[in-house]
Amino acid sequence: MRPPTARLESAPSSRPETELALEGLWRVVVLNDPVNLMSYVVLVFRRIFGFDEATARRHMLEVHERGRSVVWTGVREKAEAYAFSLQQWHLTAILEPDEAH
């Protein structure tokens, strides 16, 4: 996976708006799908994020019942890495800016 860091390294005065938009905090959101097994989703969450069983299960149920769950929030680079890992396991993951910060 390409490390998405280069675009964050230029001086603030010269950065275009698109680069500035990648700063701040980003959410990794997993969306529901009707195919993947609940036990599989729990395993993937534990494997990727190091969640304990209860936390992984809570996120899985949130995905299942509400259609989505925010599984991680942080800097864009790491959020992209998590989204990539989730997609390697065939979960549908999106990134969205954390408007609260």
Partner 1 sequence: MKRIDVKLNLQVVAPLLDLIKQIADELGDRLAAPQSLADLDTELRGTWKADLVRGQNEDCRRFLGLFDSEFFASGTVGIDEDNAEAILRACAAIRLRLRERELRDFADEVLEGGNVDVGQFAPPLQKAFMTYIFLATVQELIIQHLESALLEG
Cα gap 48→7, rounded to integer Å? 25
Kindly state whether residue 4 participates in binding partner 1, applying the rule CB under 8 A.
yes
CB of 20 to partner 1, least distance (A): 13
**Which value, in Å, is the radius of gyration of the alpha carbons in the chain?**
15
Pick the closest to residue 98 from 6, 21, 7, 25 (CA basis). Answer: 25
Size of the site for partner 1 (CB under 8 A): 26
Kindly state whether residue 63 participates in binding partner 1, applying the rule CB under 8 A.
no
Q: Which of 33, 67, 70, 74 binds partner 1 (CB under 8 A)?
A: 33
26: burial class by Cβ within 10 Å (0-12, 13-18, 19+)? buried
Which residues lie near partner 1 (CB under 8 A)? Answer: 1-2, 4, 31, 33-37, 39-40, 43, 46-47, 80, 83-84, 87-95
